[in-house]
Chain A
């Protein structure tokens, strides 16, 4: 007898590797569309050493709720309205003179452009992140999906 226990009842929850089938056209579309089908550009990326005051000016000037933070061409964080609310608003004098890398949300959850569109939506549902960066297979930043862009995509799906 081999194995780590005498119980053979274990079942791999992912053992069914057959492609899912969908009766519903919207579910099929969300599964077959790639994340790249959701608008992700234009987007704004700032260097990690940029001062928070300057990042905030850029967000206000462009009326955007989130910027991507990059270092050496790689995504290292996002800085959003939530960071402004929690870390800047009531401590502006001190926070605004710091580099954005100190106050950004590091290691953001992202999706690949080749992931299903449904994966993008589940990131929002599971992680609570409302801005989701999209990267290609080489970790190059392709853009960011905002609530507006996701809503537009869903509206088009539901027709």
Chain B
């Protein structure tokens, strides 16, 4: 099967999911930032005691909040998180990830299991890895600037 058909038939389970980095709602924004730094991701998922996702906090929110007082860093992340966020089930098609990214103008999509528990994170990189598997020649010979890979990734 080709990319077009696979895209609609393959499920999110077949993407390379990133480990979900989670924090409790009471963690400070500073604590969430430190966790994002150490995990090298641009987004944390805020979960309640039952493991249910109740919000997300990401680096774009952080950037915009830096325009004012830095007091927010010591507030609970629940005060600043987004409570509406894109999510998909492991059993949904890969196509739903692209739809979720485009509709919500985000590159992060939270992946949930059938019990709505958080199992991972996907988005732009996971989707591009999936597409790139169909282009082994591009991966082998692509011209990517003056070095192959930066020591620190920009993307999550």
Inter-chain contact A158/B4, CB cutoff 8 Å: yes
Inter-chain contact A65/B63, CB cutoff 8 Å: yes
**In the assembled complex, which residues on chain A have CB atoms less than 8 Å from the CB atom of B123?**
147
A90 to chain B minimum Cβ distance, whole angstroms, is: 6
Q: Is A4 an interface residue (CB 8 A)?
A: no
State which of A82, A129, A148, A158 has its C-beta within 8 Å of the C-beta of B42. Answer: A82
State which of B30, B73, B145 has its C-beta within 8 Å of the C-beta of A108. Answer: B145
- Chain B residues packing against A (C-beta within 8 Å): 2-5, 7, 30, 33-34, 36-37, 42, 59-60, 62-64, 66-67, 70, 73, 95, 98-99, 101-102, 105, 107, 123-125, 127-129, 131-132, 134-135, 137-150, 152-156
- Chain A residues packing against B (C-beta within 8 Å): 13-14, 20, 22-27, 30-31, 56-57, 59-60, 63, 65-66, 78, 80-86, 88-90, 92, 105, 107-112, 115-116, 118-119, 121-131, 147-148, 150-152, 154-155, 158
State which of B5, B37, B64 has its C-beta within 8 Å of the C-beta of A86. Answer: B37
State which of A20, A116, A121 has its C-beta within 8 Å of the C-beta of B131. Answer: A121
What DSSP secondary structure best describes chain B's contact surface?
helix
Inter-chain contact B66/A84, CB cutoff 8 Å: yes
Which 7 pairs from chain A and chain B are nearest by CB? A24-B2, A128-B153, A130-B155, A125-B132, A125-B128, A124-B128, A147-B107
B104 to chain A minimum Cβ distance, whole angstroms, is: 10
**In the assembled complex, which residues on chain A have CB atoms less than 8 Å from the CB atom of B124?**
124, 130, 147, 150-151
Inter-chain contact B145/A107, CB cutoff 8 Å: yes
Inter-chain contact B137/A125, CB cutoff 8 Å: no
